[in-house]
Amino acid sequence: MTVGGVITAIIFGAIIGALARLLVPGRQNMPIWLTILVGIVAALIGTAIARALNLKTHGFNFWELLFQIVVAIIGVLLVTMLWPRRSGR
């Protein structure tokens, strides 16, 4: 993977993760780096699901994006349940 590919994955992961956090109700106690990581993993898994279903995976694909966002929402929910909460408030 090239440097450009890594940067693109980070940016796209941040966007997917941020969308997932916006769609999950309530406050999520997770740092931005974890949001980006959830987004990157969700993008990879969503693409794998689209390929497994034999959908077109180059260029813009609505179904692939939908799978990525749904996986990111699930990831945000899991992290929110498992990530330790800050005490003091």
What is the residue extent of each domain of the chain?
31-81
Residue ranges of E strands in the chain: none
Residue range 1-29: average pLDDT? 85
Q: pTM higher than 0.85 for the full model? A: no
The closest of 36, 32, 44 to 16, measured between CA atoms, is 36
Question: Residue 38: what pLDDT?
Answer: 94
- The residue type at 67: F
